Amino acid sequence: MSSCSRVALVTGANKGVGFAITRDLCRLFSGDVVLTARDEARGRAAVQQLQAEGLSPRFHQLDITDLQSIRALRDFLRREYGGLNVLVNNAAIAFQTDDPTPFDIQAELTVKTNFFATRNICTELLPIMKPHGRVVNISSLQGLQALENCSEDLQEKFRCETLTEGDLVDLMNKFVEDTKNEVHEKEGWPHSAYGVSKLGVTVLSRILARRLEEKRKADRILLNACCLGWVEADMAGDHSSRTVEEGAETPVYLALLPPDATEPQGQLVCDKIVQSWSVHWNPWRYLELNDSARP
């Protein structure tokens, strides 16, 4: 076992916001920080870059779409640290708006990676989270926009406080199936695979946090989702106004909530502020009110 028993882990951390989050955690977290990436060469290059800055991250390969890869990481954490203190689920994909890939393929791959793979990470790693652990799922303003563009029936389902994980899985599968049958808009879905995938991540976070409160309340594990704003590495492209360092601020804040904190829990957090998304919420109004996030 490592001489340092505390450990934080960031997925998709070889570039962009994931890299910035890892850098901040290396500076601020009292313990080891594990940088993970699907591509080992790129991951190790990122570690070397941080080492050149005087920081000391560790590297572990992780393909979040590969269950065996997730379980190998889980076993490593058990063996080296006896569990996990901080988990930041950052890894995700997005197709550019001008990508010629058929929409149903985009939907299937995006939901598989951003929602189902993130869910698999949580399924495998939440059981080894140590008391006072912190879990941060990176969501997006586009998830909230997707919610607003859903039919009233779908909005009611996603906002339902008693929605189960199984119900949510069924909804995400239905979106993918409806895109294949070219009826997704008729069925009340928005035309945004990325948005729907991140909506799923936000709702999943609420469900998992509720379960932690029920099953492991004494351990005070906090699990939240967060929006980064329009950062350079995000899908905002030319509209981005935040640096990746600015985008990292909220996830790092949530990752380092003090041990005696009891909230936020199961919330969506933007600019370190809990967002009330159970009622109609306009992310574009959020941008108007936050100069640093304005595209």
Over the stretch 58-93, which tens digit does the pLDDT of each residue have?
A: 999 999 999 999 999 999 999 999 999 999 999 999
State how far the Cα of 242 lies from the Cα of 287, in Å rounded to an integer. Answer: 12
Predicted confidence (pLDDT) per residue in 179-204, tens digit: 999 999 999 999 999 999 999 999 99
- CB-side exposure of 116: number of CA atoms within 13 Å? 17
Burial readout 228-263 (b: 16 or more C-beta within 10 A, e: otherwise)? bbbbbbbbbeeebbbebbbbbbbbbebbbbeeeeee
Average pLDDT, the chain: 91
Handedness of CA 110, 116, 119, 123 (dihedral sign): negative
Catalytic residue numbers read 194
User: Quick one: 7-292 is in which CATH superfamily?
Assistant: NAD(P)-binding Rossmann-like Domain (3.40.50.720)
Q: What is the reported pLDDT for 293?
A: 36
Task: Look at residue 48 and tell me whether its pLDDT is greater than 80.
Answer: yes
Contact 136, 125 (CB under 8 A): no
3-state secondary structure 180-210: HCCCCCCCCCCCCHHHHHHHHHHHHHHHHHH
Task: Look at residue 164 and tell me whether its pLDDT is greater than 60.
Answer: yes
